[in-house]
Amino acid sequence: GDRLFQDMIQYWSLFRDNSTGLWCDWVGFGSAPGCGEENQRYSSASVAVGLVSDCVLVELGLLPRVEAEARTLQTLIEVRTWPREAFHGFLVHFTDRNRSATSEYSTIDTALLVAGALFAGNFFGGEILNASRDLLRLTDWSQALANATDPTIFTMVDPLSGKMHGILKPFNEYYIVAYLAMLQHPSPDSKASRYFNLFFGTSQKPEGAGGYPIHKEYHGYDLLTDHNGWVSSFIPQFCWFLTQSFQLDTYYSATLFPAWLRADMKFWETALTNSSEVWGHPVKGKVWGCGAGTTPDGYRADKIEDNPTLTFSSAIMAGFLGAAGDL
């Protein structure tokens, strides 16, 4: 177990370009290059995970705090050069050492990066906290919300006109976009606060409007979704780890999150049989987790009752530890 953990840390370290402090979208196995000159496809979401991971390593005593603070400051300074549309301040999803705008200007991926920065700021405090709050202020988050009583959240920005486009409605990871809008505009009368209180809530199950968020049960477990099926289990975990509100609201932390854990496990209990094996080892009752990533059919976001290759995720298993209790 210790060897596996140390190897995982070493592999994850390859995702960081130490010359820029930014984190790459992917790193191959074997002789594939780590993040750097030969592999410089930076991802705003990867930067978020990288910032959080350094905090975790400090907490575990595996990275000196002084070194981690220097690394984090380097990252937060470098992020200021990331391509950003000029109307509302949302970031491009992917870039490189030349700061090319190689993909869409994404509201959720901007939110993930800033939420990761705020996580690091709250952990380290001081100069890093100030830098993370400065980063929050560079985006006008409320532009991603149609209005206070319409469930629409916009997913992208046209960099030439500033027009918001791409429509999603709760419940999904765009909880984080709405949360940052509320942080920026905390007045109870603001569009952001009214939207968040209506569609997500801060102290109880959200009231909702226009049919959203959608409640959908799985074997008696009441979950939230944005369509007729269930959303991937990485979604409540993103909200759990990257926002304080998801943990402080007992509806999410004490009811929804544990229910999601048990619903995911129930799916695998029904999907696997006693003859189900991985590399010759029986796995029924041992593996579960519907996440997003590589499957035999390529990348996909697997979900309860929508996991055709039965690809389980150890990351999802670990991510639900906060809800495991006496399980």
pLDDT in tens, the chain (327 residues): 688 889 989 999 999 999 999 999 999 888 889 999 999 999 999 999 999 999 999 999 999 999 999 999 999 999 999 999 999 999 999 999 999 998 999 999 999 999 999 999 999 999 999 999 999 999 999 999 999 999 999 999 999 999 999 999 999 999 999 999 999 999 999 999 999 999 999 998 999 999 999 999 999 999 999 999 999 999 999 999 999 999 999 999 999 999 999 999 999 999 999 999 999 999 999 999 999 999 999 999 999 999 999 999 999 999 999 999 866
Q: Answer yes or no: are the C-beta atoms of 245 and 179 closer than 8 Å.
A: yes
Q: Alpha-carbon distance 310 to 177, whole Å? A: 30
How confident is the model at residue 325, as a pLDDT? 83
Distances 2 to 15, 64, 314 between C-alpha atoms, Å? 21, 19, 16
Q: Which residue has the tokens 């569609």?
A: 199
Q: Dihedral sign, CA of 124, 128, 134, 135? A: negative
Cα distances (angstroms) measured from residue 43 to each of 27, 50, 54, 190, 323: 12, 10, 17, 31, 29
Where are the alpha helices (H) located in the chain, listed in sequence order? 2-13, 44-59, 65-79, 107-124, 126-137, 175-184, 191-199, 234-242, 244-248, 250, 257-271, 314-319, 321-324
pLDDT of residue 31: 86
Cβ-in-10-Å burial (0-12, 13-18, 19+) of 66 comes to exposed
> What pTM value is reported for the model?
0.96
231 three-state secondary structure: coil
